[in-house]
Amino acid sequence: MEHLISSKDMAQFVASGYLRYEDMVPKDLCEACREEMVNNKGYLAVGTPFEETWPKGTALGDVFRLPAVKGLIHSLVGPDPLYDHHAAHLMRAGQMKGPDMHQDSVIDFRENYFDIQLSFFPVDTPDEMGGTFLVPGSHFRNVRTGEIRGYQHIKGKIWATCPAGTMYVWNTRVWHGARSNHTDQDRYMYKLRLNPSQPQVRLFDTSDLDDPEIGKILSTNHGWEGNEMRYELMQRIKQWRFVSDQQDYDVGERFLRRIEYNPATAVA
């Protein structure tokens, strides 16, 4: 499989919950997608193989079959993911949005497994246009949808300001929301959610799996963690152990050791 993401990128996905790709989609295809998005409503067959549900020969169908996009999908949810849902998000010209922080997953509290969402911006999306915001690293904090709506500004929050053709891929559990569109142009964002159909273990390019940078990437502090950083790091290490199939992996002060050390069985 070509275009798999590197182990370092995977570590970044585990730590921050998202990756950003500029120039993922060629400009002519972007324009065709924007036209298609205007009329694209309703779900396809939820829970069936993505390859069978997604319409071939459509502009959006072509986007999700670009080799780089397929490689990205394969790296995170495997070669045969299931279609979960899609949505053509539209923020009208001049449309204001109040506090909107939320998490999409609602009932998905499984350990290790995660769904992904691809957010594709088919037109240039400057800051004033209100691209989707994300709170990097928040995906281990499971809440129920809008329970967090009161938190509008969080240290470390980022938002999509990007040229047409940019794609973000994110763990469905990342806290996020829509922003106000202060321009006189409608803002479009196409979101596709996929479920893994096999354990997400070593699906990415593992040739740099032993790179010492990985520990540093996993330890990224996004700004909001504060003293809770240790707790976040533990969650990330657990997920890294799973995706990399390195059951003893640990970093720094080896926090997981404290949980795993069992005084009842320890030999003096």
Ligand X SMILES: O=C(O)CCC(=O)C(=O)O
User: Considering the complex, what minimum distance in angstroms separates the CB of residue 101 from Fe ion?
Assistant: 10
User: Considering the complex, what minimum distance in angstroms separates the CB of residue 10 from ligand X?
Assistant: 22
Closest to ligand X by CB, 104 vs 205, is: 104
The H-or-E segment that residue 14 falls in is: helix 7-16
Does 9 bind Fe ion (CB under 5 A)? Our answer is no
- In the range 156-185, which residues lie near ligand X by CB under 6 A? 176-178
Site string for ligand X, 59-98 (x = CB under 6 A): ------------------------------x-x-------
Does 132 bind ligand X (CB under 6 A)? Our answer is yes
The H-or-E segment that residue 52 falls in is: helix 50-53
Does 115 bind Fe ion (CB under 5 A)? Our answer is no
The DSSP output letter for 66 is: S
- In the list 104, 115, 205, 232, the residue contacting ligand X (rule: CB under 6 A) is 104
CB 101 within 8 A of CB 159: no
Q: Is 128 exposed, middle or buried (0-12, 13-18, 19+ CB in 10 A)?
A: middle
- In the list 8, 191, 202, 241, the residue contacting ligand X (rule: CB under 6 A) is 191
Does 104 bind Fe ion (CB under 5 A)? Our answer is yes
Question: By C-alpha distance, which of 205, 167, 170 is closest to 71?
Answer: 205
The H-or-E segment that residue 27 falls in is: helix 27-38
CA pair distance 184, 181, nearest whole angstrom: 8
- In the list 4, 148, 189, 203, the residue contacting ligand X (rule: CB under 6 A) is 189
Residues interacting with Fe ion, by CB under 5 A? Answer: 104
